[in-house]
Amino acid sequence: MDYSDLIYGYEKKVPTALGLKRYINFDNAASTPPFKGVMKLLAEEAEWYSSVHRGSGYKSRYSTDQYENARQSIANFIGADLAHEVIIFTKNTTDSINKLSHYLSFLPGETVIYSKIEHHSNELPWKKAKNICINLRNEGIDLGELEQVLKANPGKIKLLAVCGASNVTGYIPPIHTLAEMAHHAGAKILIDGAQLIPHRPVKLYPANDPRHLDFLAFSGHKMYAPFGAGVLVGPRALFTNKFPSQVGGGTVRGMGSSGVLWVDPPEVEEAGSPNVLGSLALAKAAQILEQIGWENLINHETSLLEYSLIKLRQIPNLILYQHCSNPSIGVISFNIQGIEHYQVAKYLAETRGIGVRSGCFCARGYVQSLLKLSPVEIDRIQSTLIENVQAQTPGMVRISFGCYNKFSEVDCLVDALEELSLGIRKRGGSCK
């Protein structure tokens, strides 16, 4: 399968030490390039763009309709029922989860569970809310341990906050089983869908189904629509008649001596002028993913992942940090013994024009555990960071696939990594 023709800018060449080379983007877990179909839609819609909701001119009414159609098409994409649920357009997943943390109020002793594999965006908002957060051990989500934690805290667990897929290993937790467990214990579940949404179909299921996902957050820029829009989905009732997370224009229905009367959700959570074109882009990208077809997309990405793992395992000195269980999205983290992660990333960029991510991927808990760093080592690293703003921390190199990546691109990566790895052997452990 070759989906590269769907990608805007796929053929762009970038400077490398060996001259201009076509850019190979293996950093899709961070952000994806736009679909051409998204760019085309933006160019068309921009001609008709005007302020939404409060304008009376033709273009304003047109843009308002398009904006609300985008909301409906996102609802269809994830199987949300707009009578009970709201689709709130946000900036990104981080914004969505921070908004949600504003709405969930906690009684003393009430707790959020989040897992050890979470991105900081699905960890810090819960720490900030000063709840007792329980780390799940083992590298994946240990269902036995989760069961124990739920049983040991009857009526105290308010929320289970987990990612739909890890941005470090690609591991896909069994989200609907987790939902059933959370609901059985009287808790709600939030799925941080930042990584899952571009790679797997996600359905909320109706609210009376134990598999139901209460909250879902995701970002347009990770699903081929990098134009500043994200989504938060949740029950309409939670956002109704509450003090919004941000106040300002567009949130007020009335203002009198008794105070402010807020508009209903979703508008109450979209203070100021919303990102209309970004939201249209996101909805269009969702439509294109469905047009490609999930089965085609999953087959292609899984073959690419398996092919890469076979090749990478043959490279001497390369350490893979894979989660032992399937399924996974196309994310692979590794190190080459004796070479710092950032040197590997730099070499790939400079010699092949390959873009990867290196470091801790905003998931320090998971990365430090995979690197088997002791608490003492972690504290030492922290002290180094305090003393030196330029200091690099231990980390990994991550490659992450989009639907448009090709086997030949993997070959190019493997070639460069072999070169690096053999270089170490030749030079006895150093890499320049």
Positions touching ligand PLP (CB under 6 A) are: 29-30, 92-94, 119, 121-122, 163, 167, 192, 194-195, 219, 221
Whose Cβ is closer to ligand PLP: residue 176's or residue 352's? 176
Cβ proximity of 212 and 261 under 8 Å: no
372: left (phi over 0), alpha (psi -120 to 50) or beta: left
377 vs 382: CA distance, rounded Å: 9
Q: Which is nearer to ligand PLP, 196 or 277 (CB)?
A: 196
Torsion angles phi and psi, residue 332, rounded to 5: -130, 125
CB of 174 closer than 8 Å to CB of 167 = no
For ligand PLP, the closer of residues 171 and 262 by Cβ is 171
Smallest separation, CB 361 to ligand PLP (Å):
7
Least Å distance, CB 162 to ligand PLP, is: 10
Least distance to ligand PLP from the beta carbon of 233, Å? Answer: 15
- Cβ contact 154:113 at 8 Å: no
Give whichever of 194 and 420 is closer to ligand PLP, judged by the CB atom.
194
- Smallest gap from Cβ 194 to ligand PLP, in A, equals 4
Nearer Cβ to ligand PLP (29/339):
29
Q: Is 351 helix (H, G, I), strand (E, B) or coil?
A: helix
Q: In Å, what is the CA distance from 224 to each residue of 10, 96, 170, 288? A: 12, 18, 18, 9
CB of 322 to ligand PLP, least distance (A): 17
Q: How far is the CB of 367 from ligand PLP (least distance, A)?
A: 12
Considering the complex, state which of residue 30 and residue 252 has its C-beta at the smaller distance from ligand PLP. 30
Closest approach of ligand PLP to the CB of residue 166, in Å: 7
Q: Which of 258, 247, 185, 176 is nearest to 213 (CA)?
A: 176
Angle at 227 between CA 56 and CA 26, to 5 degrees: 165
d(CA 304, CA 132): 40
Based on CB atoms, which residue is closest to ligand PLP, 289 or 420? 289
Q: Largest Cα–Cα distance of the chain, in whole Å?
A: 79
H or E element that contains 405 = none
